[in-house]
Amino acid sequence: MKTSFAASLAILLAASAAMGAPARAEPDRKTDLVTLDGASVDLMRLRHDFDGVWVIDNQNILYRDNVRDYYLVTLDDACPTLDIRSRTFNFRPGWSWQLRASFSYEVRPEAGSPCGVSRIAQIDGDKAVALRDAAQWRVW
């Protein structure tokens, strides 16, 4: 009887441990971070501060850092306040030395509702220069 009780108890403990152990969940991805080679990552380290910003259209913004690396920020939806050329906006939370896919980022215009960021992608210089030139000649 002691053997069957011990065996039953061992089976019960093993089954409850297997069923009751919480699975290690990945953090929710709130922002897609894409490196220059096209890989999606959970963490993107930034090396320098940003010194240039161009509104490509009301859903895409181009940022340039001090060493001429470019980042294309794509919003969840069109942000109508970006259609106004003289309107200023901020990136929230502010740029830090690292971006995290588990964070939610926003573009907050001076006036109007904030616009959520869905993707931040590092892009090569040739593509960035073409986007920058198009933004400068965009009809506002």
Task: Identify which of 91, 140, 94, 89 has the alpha carbon closest to the alpha carbon of residue 111.
Answer: 89
Which residue(s) pair with 115 in the sheet? Answer: 107
| 2 lies in some domain | no
SS3 62: strand
pLDDT of 22: 47
Residue 3 domain flag: no
Does 43 map to a domain?
Answer: yes
> Of 86, 140, 82, whose CA–CA distance to 107 is shortest?
82
In a domain, 132, yes or no: yes
Cα–Cα distance, 42 to 100 (Å, whole number): 6
Nearest to 118 by CA among 132, 107, 133, 127: 107
pLDDT at 26: 54
pLDDT band at 101 (very low <50, low <70, confident <90, very high): very high
Report the chain's mean pLDDT, rounded to a whole number: 80
Q: Could you tell me if 134 and 113 are in contact, meaning their C-beta atoms sit under 8 angstroms apart? A: no
- Whether residue 12 is predicted with pLDDT greater than 90 in this model: the reply is no
What's the total number of domains in the chain?
1
Task: Please report whether residue 10 resides in a domain.
Answer: no
Report the pLDDT value the prediction gives residue 9, as an integer from 0 to 100.
44
Cα–Cα distance measured from residue 107 to residue 79, given in angstroms and rounded to the nearest whole number: 9
Q: With respect to residue 121, please indicate whether it lies within any of the assigned structural domains.
A: yes
Q: How confident is the model at residue 27 (pLDDT cuts 50, 70, 90)?
A: low
Whether residue 8 is contained in a domain is answered as no
pTM: 0.75
Domain holding 51, by residue range, is: 29-136
* 56 found inside a domain: yes
Q: Which residue has the higher pLDDT, 83 or 106?
A: 106
- What is the chain's length? 140
pLDDT for 83 equals 82
Single out the residue of 119, 98, 95, 117 nearest to residue 106, CA to CA.
Answer: 117
For position 16, what pLDDT does the model report? 47
